[in-house]
Amino acid sequence: MTGLILAVEEPRASALARELELEGEHIIAIVSATSATTLLSGAQALVMPASRETLTPELVSACDRAGVRILALGGAESRLLQKFGIGPGLPVDATGWQISRALRTPATIQDPARGDLPHRLIAVWGPHGSPGRSTVAMLLAVELARLGRRTALVDADTVAPSLALLLGLGDDAPGIAAACRRAELGGLDSAELTRLATAVPTSAGDLDVLPGINRPSRWPELSASRLTRALQTCREWTEETVIDVAGSFDADEEATYDVLGPRRHAATTAALNEADAIIAVASADPLGISRFLRDYAELRNLTTPTPVTVVVNQVRPGPLGLDARGQIRNTLDRFAGITDPLFLPHDQRAADAALLHARPMSDLTPRSALVAGARRLAAVLAPGAAPTTSSADSSRGSSRAARLLRSARAARGA
């Protein structure tokens, strides 16, 4: 039998107390979260909501001193629970037997150093012409967080940084530039990154964002060595770090500029070289596909063997007529050996709502087909999913969509 304090609002508290007593648990008191610290003596566990208003550093410290275990209800604040070293939250509507079972299960905190799950850097790249790199990066970060992964979003675009504007953040936040300066001085760690980042609330929980530079002229602050060190620390800081980068490489600059001086697009090259996975975004129109094919070969030469997942964004029939997906798939297969790209549909209404409210589409239009496509992309990239390398010598080509396409072609041929 465990002595419990319930810091839950009525009438749920009384109903939960009755369920727990049926499970053989002893309820010491039903109190508000703010007064729970006065009754910790003699208790073994405190059941309370996982919210920033109630789960404070003072309360956690008091429970630690008293040896009281905290059982949090609600998993939306997973980053907050990780910050305080509390185990994964129970469902917000957890029943008495679920809580009783959790009390009898030793608390386990995932230790990133153990390598239970891989920590990754995911770079989102695309050629010039606004293919939607920042939109895809933001959607992907939210959906990875929804899968339970601790996720950060980094704006390393030195040409047209936009994540701060898209998320309604001030352009004077320290962000990735400050992280790079601290990394160069050897003073960057996970705690410092948490301080420099801006916690953005989303429907999937808080998302840590490191905004980019507020003026393109500040690009020398994101040098290759600085950014590489900062991103290596980001890999230790969170489970998933999604990096929005510019479209230009540095391949030609080494031959035309002083190799010892700063290079304009070194941040893009550094992020791509450091990434564990790359999302290559193409715009679904003739010009966008042409630009993508021209730069894709250079991307593979630069980043091989890093796995690349090709995403075709803004798919609609207007620029390509009927069967836009089929035309794009055939073109990518013919000229780049990409047999199974992922498609994200064009949703102007969702995009407009996101711009108007400066919030992720997932929060405003959760039923959007574009949001659903981003969730599929996150599922493909989730740890344990099949690899999704898209290249001439390594491609999946075995998805349900690809099989249906081959069947249709065979039927027409017959």
Model confidence over 155-187: pLDDT tens digits? 999 999 999 999 999 877 889 999 999 999 999
Non-local (6+) Cβ contacts of 356 within 8 A are: none
- Residue 27 is predicted with a pLDDT of 86
Model confidence over 96-125: pLDDT tens digits? 888 887 777 655 444 444 345 679 999 999
Residue type, 410: A
* CA distance to 123, 186, 301, per residue, from 306 (Å): 11, 28, 10
Q: In the chain, what are the domains? A: 3-109 (3.40.50.2300), 116-396 (3.40.50.300)
Regions of the chain with pLDDT less than 70:
1-2, 75-80, 82-85, 87, 105-117, 250-262, 384-414
Question: CA-CA distance, 240 to 153, in Å (whole number)?
Answer: 9
Question: CA-CA distance, 213 to 158, in Å (whole number)?
Answer: 7
Question: CA-CA distance, 215 to 132, in Å (whole number)?
Answer: 20
Q: What angle do CA 171, 172, 178 make, to 5 degrees?
A: 115
- Residue 70 is predicted with a pLDDT of 85
Query: 215-240: buried (b, 16+ CB within 10 Å) or exposed (e) per residue?
Result: eeeebebbbbebbbbbbebbbebbbb
Look-up of token digits 């798919």: 315
- Residue 141 is predicted with a pLDDT of 97
DSSP state of 116: S
Question: CA-CA distance, 123 to 83, in Å (whole number)?
Answer: 25
- Residue 394 is predicted with a pLDDT of 37
Percentage with pLDDT > 70 across the chain:
83
- Residue 414 is predicted with a pLDDT of 44
What is the model's pTM?
Answer: 0.67
Q: What angle do CA 338, 339, 343 make, to 5 degrees?
A: 90
